[in-house]
Structures are given as structure tokens and as C-alpha cells.
Amino acid sequence: MGLTADDVARLAALARIQLTEQDCAELAPELDVILESVASVSEVARPDVPLATHAIPMSNVFRADVVTASLTQTQALSGAPEEEDGRFRVPQILSED
């Protein structure tokens, strides 16, 4: 079963993509190859084959979330080039308008 230019036009309309008739005619065989490739993978995937999201085993490397003491406001501002009203002072980059 091959994908037709009409099928591509219908899919494009559903996706709200504007395609010309020539685009649809050119894309139909390309999309058909993609669909056939997906179908061939589906044939190989059997219930006894585990799903894989990566080619090699991956594991989570995050550390445990442990609450620790943080800097006080004074300590945080001690290295700032400028400070105003207990906050970092930075150059204005947007106008007030």
C-alpha cells in the first residue's frame, strides 16, 4: 500500500502545513519509505525483546537532594561589584517605556 499525493495533502491539511501539489507528489514516495521502515522495525520487535531507549545502558547520576546551609544575604552580596537595597545592582538594559 503506497502513500499517495492525496494522502500527503490530507496529512498536511491536518497539520496546517501548506504544500503545493508538486510538494505532495514529491513527498509521497519519501514518506512511504519512512512508513515502510517503521513497519519493518515493528515486525522485528517482539514481546520477548526488551524496549531500549539508548544503545548502551544508562543510569541516573544525580546526587541525593540534601538540605545544607546557604549563604546569608550579606555573604552573597559581599562579592558583588555594586549593591543597592540589599540586592545586586546591575546596569539597566531595558528602557522604562
Domain ranges in the chain? 5-37
DSSP characters for 49-85? SPP-SSSS-----PPP--------HHHHHTT-S-EET
The pLDDT, as a whole number, for residue 69 is 92
The pLDDT, as a whole number, for residue 1 is 60
Kindly tell me if the per-residue pLDDT of 49 is higher than 80: no
Three-state secondary-structure class, residue 21:
helix
State the chain's mean pLDDT as an integer.
Answer: 87
Kindly calculate the radius of gyration of the chain based on its CA atoms and give it in whole angstroms: 29
Is this prediction's pTM over 0.75? no
